[in-house]
Amino acid sequence: MKRKQIVAGNWKMNMNFDEGRDLAISIVRKLGPLKNEVILCPPFIHLNYLSVISKDIANLHIGAQNCHQKDKGAYTGEIAASMLKSVGCSYVILGHSERRQYFGEDGALLAAKVDTALANNLKPIFCVGEKLDAREAGKQEKVVEKQLKSGLFHLGETQFSNVVLAYEPVWAIGTGKTASPEQAQDMHQFIRKLVAQKYSVNIAEGTSILYGGSVKPANAKAIFSQADVDGGLIGGAALKAADFVSIINSFPQA
């Protein structure tokens, strides 16, 4: 089974409505026919507009950057997975290191969010990744294994097959430092091995694992050409249409 190659753009908390509309239009204009999947993950206010303009473009999808773990109710300021679905989202980023770090999201909370997302037919893009001190102490695999076990590995096989994984070393996010292609490959291979042990080799071979952390047009090709890297989760470079589209076009030709 050939797994999906994906480039997702995480706009984070950037772009007011007009800026976001212009960016999305500019990306769409530059895209050729898409061989791989592309996911735009803007702030909530853009989701409706983006899903309207991407509706008829094959392989272009919309994702959110977060959702609440409960279905609905008195949770002022929060967004439910069913609401995201209702404006055309197919994906939701969960477990991003900024959510873990600034909003205290831990494994138990993320497991609940993953369940709610899946119950509403949203595919989680589940992020894992170690901080610099863990990398320097050689503990990166331990950290990632723990994040996978606490947030995801309670899922059954069918549910898990709807999850996309993203390895994002925290020390590489927004810092201009990228993991080397070899560091990315090593961790992706390790993650795939864990998935194979927990589920099956078949499931592991079908799971897309994206790399994230300072991916740019200049380094995307080298990273995407690694055997276990199935694409990227792009932050800063997703805010520039030309850079983002160049990254989308960085997969090695089959």
How far apart are CB 177 and ligand PGA at their closest, in Å? 9
Q: How far apart are CA 91 and CA 94, in angstroms?
A: 10
> What value, to the nearest 5°, has the Cα angle with vertex 57 and ends 93 and 80?
30
The stretch among 49-57, 101-109, 150-158, 209-217 that binds ligand PGA (CB under 6 A) is 209-217
Q: Does 180 bind ligand PGA (CB under 6 A)?
A: no
Active-site annotation holds for 154: no
Which runs of E-coded beta strand occur in the chain? 6-10, 37-41, 60-64, 91-94, 123-128, 164-167, 209-212, 231-234
CA atoms within 13 A on the CB side of 247: 33
Q: Does 168 bind ligand PGA (CB under 6 A)?
A: yes
When the beta carbons of 80 and 96 are compared against ligand PGA, the nearer one is: 96
Q: Does 236 bind ligand PGA (CB under 6 A)?
A: yes
> What value, to the nearest 5°, has the Cα angle with vertex 165 and ends 75 and 92?
30
Q: SS3 breakdown of the chain: % helix, strand, coil, rounded to 5?
A: 45, 15, 40
- Biggest alpha carbon–alpha carbon distance for the chain: 50
How far apart are CB 38 and ligand PGA at their closest, in Å? 15
Q: What count of other Cβ atoms lies within 10 Å of the Cβ of residue 246? A: 17
Q: Does 217 bind ligand PGA (CB under 6 A)?
A: no
Q: Which of 212, 220, 226, 241 binds ligand PGA (CB under 6 A)?
A: 212
Point out the catalytic residue in the list 46, 98, 168, 188: 168
214 token code pair? 């300072």
Q: Does 20 bind ligand PGA (CB under 6 A)?
A: no
Q: Does 66 bind ligand PGA (CB under 6 A)?
A: no
Q: Which of 95, 124, 213, 231 binds ligand PGA (CB under 6 A)?
A: 213
When the beta carbons of 116 and 219 are compared against ligand PGA, the nearer one is: 219
Q: What count of other Cβ atoms lies within 10 Å of the Cβ of residue 29? A: 9
The sign of the torsion formed by the CA atoms of 183, 186, 190, 195 equals positive
Q: How many residues belong to the site for ligand PGA (CB under 6 A)?
A: 13
Point out the catalytic residue in the list 46, 61, 68, 96: 96
Residue 240 burial class via C-beta count within 10 angstroms: exposed 0-12, middle 13-18, buried 19 and up: middle
Q: Does 37 bind ligand PGA (CB under 6 A)?
A: no
Residue 39: DSSP 8-state: E
Q: Does 235 bind ligand PGA (CB under 6 A)?
A: yes
How far apart are CB 180 and ligand PGA at their closest, in Å? 15
Q: Does 173 bind ligand PGA (CB under 6 A)?
A: yes
How far apart are CB 145 and ligand PGA at their closest, in Å? 21
Active-site annotation holds for 68: no
In one-letter notation, the amino acid at residue 110 is L
Which residues of the chain form contacts with ligand PGA (CB under 6 A)?
10, 168, 173-174, 212-215, 233-237
Instruction: Report the catalytic residues.
Output: 96, 168
